[in-house]
Amino acid sequence: MVIVGAGECGARAALTLREQGWDGKIALIGEEALPPYERPPLSKAVMVTDPEPAPAHPLTAEAARERRIDLISGVRVTQIDRNAHEVVLGDGRRIAYGKLLLATGAQPRKLMVEGAESGAVLYLRSFADARALRAKLLPGTRLCIIGGGFIGLELAASATKRNCHVTVLEAAPRILMRGVPAPIAALIARRHEQAGVAFRIGVGIARIIPDNGAKRVVLADGSHISCDVIIAGIGAVPDTALAESAGLVVENGIRADGTLATSDPDIFAAGDCCSFPHPLYGDRRVRLEAWRNALDQGALAARNMLGAGQTYDTVPWFWSDQYELTLHIAGLSDQCAVHVKRDLGDGAELHFHLGEDGRLMAASGFGPIGKVAKEIKLAEMLVQRSARPAADQLASPDVRLKSLLNA
């Protein structure tokens, strides 16, 4: 068994193979020199915790040795020889596989404007990226964040804690356009503004130019923002180059079926790099960039590499911690017809998203974690069961979600 991509998805797959009784060889191959580590802390704890924390490893080198997992770090897989059933490494080594899992993840989408190509813009993907950015977040630093999505806003919250002056640029009409309802996005924006974050919404970037040792971001409307550091968080691009060169079908990521098998039955794909049909959403093909999805798909792909034949049908789940508040999302809301709000008190809100047939498709909540986490978990279970709760019951804080689940 060979796994390409030593992130959390690949690590979970390797561990699951052993947990499921596979006694043969396992090779886990990663480009970074570090063993697999958790990425969610990069924009949060790694930025603000003193002293600077070490990476959190779901699989250490020692644990890999104990489980007889051949962890090959610091080398890239350059080719898949499907005829020979081998992968070719950048150092020339060839490793044979019976089943192969591609867990190659995604890379930050690059900002394509004049001046961005000169190294003026930073991106956050790796622990090395996080360390480099943290070193620049000194008190008084003027930070310009391009992109009002999860990564950009988490970095904004972290930078304000380090007493930086933060401006967030978002070309869309509001922040968090993907998957977050407008009322919750407004709550999040308000909390950032209370912390001193400035927003420029609905305006694009014309170019980036040097400015007396600093930088100037020139906007499409002719205005500009002077800053010391620029970081872009404008989405991610699935890493499909290896799959494409091997002739695998690619469609918004490596195209996989419901069992996460690719167009080659001996090759599977999981995590940020793959798209798959989701049965809870009419087999709509989706690609999910989420921590829990990476873990769940890594485990399921491993079981299916051993012949389980299971379909991936887990409810998509996302979360983001900003300041003392948390955002949790269960399901996909972008194609929902009905929107219902529930007030949880203490500034917390829960929003439900229903399809035209009344089925609960998604729920999102924002507020103190003690108010939000349990409610979203119950809502997630309702989504998983394709429940059709009445809108007035969802709206009423007096109706417990657990009672709807039991019904």
Residue 144 has pLDDT above 90, yes or no: yes
Answer yes or no: is pLDDT of 117 > 90: no
Pick from 176-185, 305-314, 370-379: least confident: 176-185
Q: Where in the chain is the domain with CATH 3.50.50.60?
A: 2-106+236-305, 110-232
213 Cβ contact partners less than 8 Å away, ≥ 6 residues apart: none
Give the residue range(s) of CATH 3.30.390.30 domains in the chain.
324-406
Nearest to 277 by CA among 247, 243, 312, 253: 312
pLDDT of residue 271: 98
pLDDT above 90 for 206: yes
Q: Which CATH class is domain 324-406?
A: alpha beta
CB distance 320 to 150 below 8 Å: yes
DSSP secondary structure code for residue 379 in this structure: H
Both structure tokens of 373:
């986490």
The amino acid present at 129, given as its one-letter code, is D
Q: Which fold has domain 2-106+236-305?
A: FAD/NAD(P)-binding domain (3.50.50)
271-303 pLDDT per residue, tens: 999 999 999 999 999 999 999 999 999 999 999
* Per-residue model confidence (pLDDT) at position 91: 96
Mean pLDDT, all residues of the chain:
96
Assess whether pLDDT exceeds 90 at residue 111: yes
Half-sphere exposure for 300 (CA within 13 Å, toward CB): 22
Higher pLDDT, 211 or 87: 87
Please tell us whether the domain made up of 110-232 is placed in CATH 3.40.50.2300.
Answer: no
Contact 129, 123 (CB under 8 A): yes
Mean pLDDT on 342-365: 95
Q: What is the mean pLDDT of residues 342-370?
A: 95
170-194 per-position pLDDT tens digit: 999 999 998 899 999 999 999 999 9
The tokens 């962890």 sit on which residue? Answer: 71
Check residue 33 and give its pLDDT.
96
* pLDDT (0 to 100) of residue 178: 86
SS (H, E, C) 86-117: EEEECCCCEEECCCEEECCCEEECCCCCECHH
Q: What is the pLDDT of residues 85-96, one digit of tens each?
A: 999 999 999 999
The reported pTM is: 0.96
- Amino acid of residue 237: V
